[in-house]
């Protein structure tokens, strides 16, 4: 992989909610599935799958969208100017959009921090999913240990997890894939939205890279389920702890 671009833009959450309600997109009895609404809004502006994975970050100072893309900055600007309808200007601020290129300069043995918001779930034999922490009453320390194991498995051979911290946990509703009120272009055929609750975790990990190409691919395409709906974007972070450099195994 040659590289990709990382986009950051200011975003209005109230504007996103108004857009979603106006399109009957991501709406359910408990509110708005923001990830699903953004999935469709971004597809309308930039093309299907052009911004994946992405993450919505909300703080007291406002909200931002971060997304991976293979589109060049000029193409992103051109598509937004060509396809974004006026009401989308109340959601995304084109003047705040910033893009930087990401290249693979990672080295085998290098240590880095990573952060992601994910839904740590395992596939069941019946086709369903279950929380990677099997005990719903588990305290945060036990839950953190289960999620660390889950994360290490998902890293595959790209990197080895050496430390994991569960920085936030909550159960969140999402619209299931088979439900309607998901596509803003097909509201006439909408069925009642089916809501599924599952774990949402913000994880910080420290990993030692074992395959730089595989690790870079993970940064580009994300990790875990629901990567098209606001989960799984892996952001590199400075290592928070003091760690020793990797040493060669003694003969």
CATH number, position 226? 3.30.70.1210
Of 102, 134, 153, the domain-final residue: 102
Domain count, the chain: 2
**Are 226 and 126 members of one domain?**
yes
Q: What is the pLDDT of residue 190?
A: 42
- In-domain check, residue 76: yes
**Are 127 and 230 members of one domain?**
yes
- Provide the pLDDT confidence category of residue 240 given band limits of 50, 70 and 90: confident
SS3 (DSSP) at 121 = strand
**Are 120 and 212 members of one domain?**
yes
The mean pLDDT value for 126-137 works out to 92
**Are 75 and 121 members of one domain?**
no
Can the peptide bond before residue 53 be classed as cis, meaning omega within 30 degrees of 0?
A: yes
Tell me: the pLDDT tens digits for 3-31?
Answer: 999 999 999 999 999 999 999 999 988 88
**Are 210 and 146 members of one domain?**
yes
Q: What is the pLDDT of residue 243?
A: 54
pLDDT at 242 over 90: no
- In-domain check, residue 248: no
Find the range with the poorest average confidence among 15-19, 114-118, 245-249.
245-249
**In angstroms, what CA-CA distances link 188 with 23, 47, 182, 183, 184?**
10, 22, 11, 10, 9
- In-domain check, residue 232: yes
**Are 233 and 117 members of one domain?**
yes
- In-domain check, residue 120: yes
56 Cβ contact list (under 8 Å, min separation 6) = 11, 13, 34, 35, 38, 63, 64, 65, 230
The chain-wide mean pLDDT, for the chain, equals 89
**Are 123 and 63 members of one domain?**
no
H or E stretch at 152? helix 140-155
The mean pLDDT value for 223-245 works out to 87
Alpha carbon distance 63, 57 (integer Å):
5
For the chain, how far is it from start to end, CA to CA, in angstroms? Answer: 35
- In-domain check, residue 245: no
- In-domain check, residue 53: yes
**Are 147 and 232 members of one domain?**
yes
**Are 86 and 173 members of one domain?**
no
Of 70, 102, 134, the domain-final residue: 102
Whether 68 and 6 have beta carbons less than 8 Å apart is answered as: yes
Q: What is the pLDDT of residue 250?
A: 39
Of 55, 85, 102, the domain-final residue: 102
Tell me: the pLDDT tens digits for 167-190?
Answer: 999 998 877 655 444 444 444 334
Tell me: the pLDDT tens digits for 37-90?
Answer: 999 999 999 999 999 999 999 988 899 999 999 999 999 999 999 999 999 999
Whether 129 and 176 have beta carbons less than 8 Å apart is answered as: no
Quote the domain boundaries for residue 216. 111-237
- Output the domain CATH number for residue 42: 3.30.70
Q: What is the pTM of this model?
A: 0.87
Alpha-carbon Rg for the chain, nearest whole angstrom, is 19
**Are 226 and 208 members of one domain?**
yes
Q: What is the pLDDT of residue 185?
A: 45
């Amino acid at each position: 992989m040659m590289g990709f671009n990382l986009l950051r833009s200011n975003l209005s959450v109230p504007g996103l909610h108004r857009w979603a309600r106006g399109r009957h997109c991501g709406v359910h009895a408990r509110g708005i599935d923001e990830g699903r609404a953004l999935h469709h809004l971004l597809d309308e502006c930039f093309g299907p799958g052009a911004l994946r994975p992405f993450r919505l970050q909300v703080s007291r100072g406002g909200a931002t969208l971060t997304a991976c893309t293979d589109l060049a900055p000029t193409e992103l600007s051109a598509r937004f100017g060509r396809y974004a309808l006026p009401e989308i200007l109340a959601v995304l601020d084109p003047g705040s959009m910033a893009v930087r290129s990401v290249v693979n300069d990672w080295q085998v043995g290098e240590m880095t921090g990573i952060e992601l918001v994910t839904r740590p779930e395992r596939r069941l034999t019946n086709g369903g999913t279950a929380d990677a922490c099997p005990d719903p009453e588990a305290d945060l320390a036990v839950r953190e240990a289960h999620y660390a194991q889950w994360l290490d498995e998902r890293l595959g051979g790209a990197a080895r997890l050496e430390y994991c911290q569960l920085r936030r946990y909550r159960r969140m509703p999402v619209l299931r894939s088979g439900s309607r009120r998901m596509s803003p272009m097909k509201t006439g055929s909408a069925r009642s939205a089916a809501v599924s609750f599952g774990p949402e975790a913000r994880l910080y990990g420290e990993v030692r890279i074992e395959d730089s190409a595989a690790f870079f691919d993970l940064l580009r395409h994300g990790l875990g389920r629901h990567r098209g709906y606001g989960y799984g974007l892996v952001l590199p972070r400075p290592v928070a702890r003091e760690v020793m450099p990797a040493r060669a195994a003694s003969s």
